Amino acid sequence: MSKIEQTNRFGNSAITDIPDNVPMFSQPGHKLRTSNNIVDRSALSNDYQVIDTSQLTKLPGQKLQSISHDDQEGIIRLEAGNEHEQHVPNQFTGPSFRTQKERFRFDGHKMMHHLDRVQAWQNGQRFAPVHIDMGLTKFCNTACLYCYAVVQNMTKGTMIGREALLNFVRDCGKLGVRSLGFIGDGEPTLNPTLYDATVLAGELGIDTAMATNGLLLDMDRAHDLLKNMSYIRFNLSAGTPEGFRRVHQSKEANFHLLIDKIRELVKIKKENNYKCTLGLQMVLIPECFDEVLAEAKLGAELGVDYFVVKHCSDSEYKEIGIDYDAYLKIGDVLKQAEQFSNDHYVVQVKWNKINAAGETNLYKDGFRKYDQCFGTPFLLQISGNGKIYPCGPFFNKERFYIGDLHTDSFYDLVATSERYWQVHKDVAESVDVHKDCAIGCRQDYVNKFLWDLKNPPEHINFI
Ligand code: SF4
The neighbouring-strand residues paired with 6 are 14
Ligand 1 atom showing the smallest separation from residue 438 Cα: 7
Count of beta carbons in the 10 Å neighbourhood of residue 104: 13
Distance 312 CA to ligand 1 centre (A): 16
Distance 392 CA to ligand 1 centre (A): 8
The answer to which of 102-111, 143-152, 298-307 has the lowest mean pLDDT is 143-152
Ligand 1 atom showing the smallest separation from residue 376 Cα: 5
Ligand 1 atom showing the smallest separation from residue 441 Cα: 6
Give the model confidence (pLDDT) of 256-300 as tens digits. 999 999 999 999 999 999 999 999 999 998 889 999 999 999 999
Candidate of 317, 447, 449 to mutate for ligand 1, largest count of ligand atoms within 8 Å of Cβ: 447
Domains of the chain: 129-454 (3.20.20.70)
Q: Are 444 and 391 in contact (CB under 8 A)?
A: no
Ligand 1 atom showing the smallest separation from residue 379 Cα: 5
Distance 447 CA to ligand 1 centre (A): 9
Give the model confidence (pLDDT) of 157-204 as tens digits. 899 999 999 999 999 999 999 999 999 889 999 999 999 999 999 999
The answer to which of 27-31, 151-155, 415-419 has the lowest mean pLDDT is 27-31
pLDDT at 133 over 70: yes
Distance 373 CA to ligand 1 centre (A): 6
Quote the percentage of the chain above a pLDDT of 90.
59
Distance 442 CA to ligand 1 centre (A): 8
Find the mean pLDDT for residues 378-395.
95
Distance 383 CA to ligand 1 centre (A): 15
Residue whose C-alpha is closest to residue 167's, from 419, 383, 405, 420:
405
Residue whose C-alpha is closest to residue 209's, from 176, 173, 191, 234:
234
> Which residue's C-alpha comes closest to atom 8 of ligand 1?
391
> Which residue's C-alpha comes closest to atom 6 of ligand 1?
441
Q: Whole-model pTM?
A: 0.77
Residues in contact with ligand 1 (CB, 6 Å cut-off): 373, 375-376, 391, 393-394, 427, 431, 433, 437-438, 441, 443, 447
Ligand 1 atom showing the smallest separation from residue 427 Cα: 3
> Which residue's C-alpha comes closest to atom 2 of ligand 1?
437
Q: Are 278 and 305 in contact (CB under 8 A)?
A: yes
Q: Is the dihedral of CA 55, 59, 60, 62 positive or negative?
A: negative
Candidate of 437, 445, 448, 451 to mutate for ligand 1, largest count of ligand atoms within 8 Å of Cβ: 437
* 3-class SS string, the chain: CEEEEEECCCCCEEEEEECCCCCEECCCCCHHHHCCCEECHHHHCCCCCCCCHHHCCCCCCEEEEEEEECCEEEEEEEECCCCCCEECCCCCCCCCCCCCCCCCCCCCCCHHHCHHHHHHHHCCCCCCCCEEEECCECCCCCCCCCCCHHHCCCCCCCECCHHHHHHHHHHHHHHCCCEEEECCCCCHHHCCCHHHHHHHHHHHCCEEEEEECCCCCCHHHHHHHHHHEEEEEEECCCCCHHHHHHHHCCCHHHHHHHHHHHHHHHHHHHHHCCCCEEEEEEECCHHHHHHHHHHHHHHHHHCCCEEEEECCCCCCCCCCCCCHHHHHHCHHHHHHHHCCCECCEEEEECHHHHHHHHCCHHHHCCCCCCCCCCCCCCEEEECCCCEEECCHHHCCCHHHCCEECCCCCHHHHHHCCHHHHHHHHHHHHHCCCCCCCCCCCCCHHHHHHHHHHHCCCCCCCCC
Distance 285 CA to ligand 1 centre (A): 23
**What per-residue confidence (pLDDT) applies to 35?**
45
Q: Rg of the chain over CA atoms, in angstroms?
A: 28
Ligand 1 atom showing the smallest separation from residue 394 Cα: 8
Distance 393 CA to ligand 1 centre (A): 7
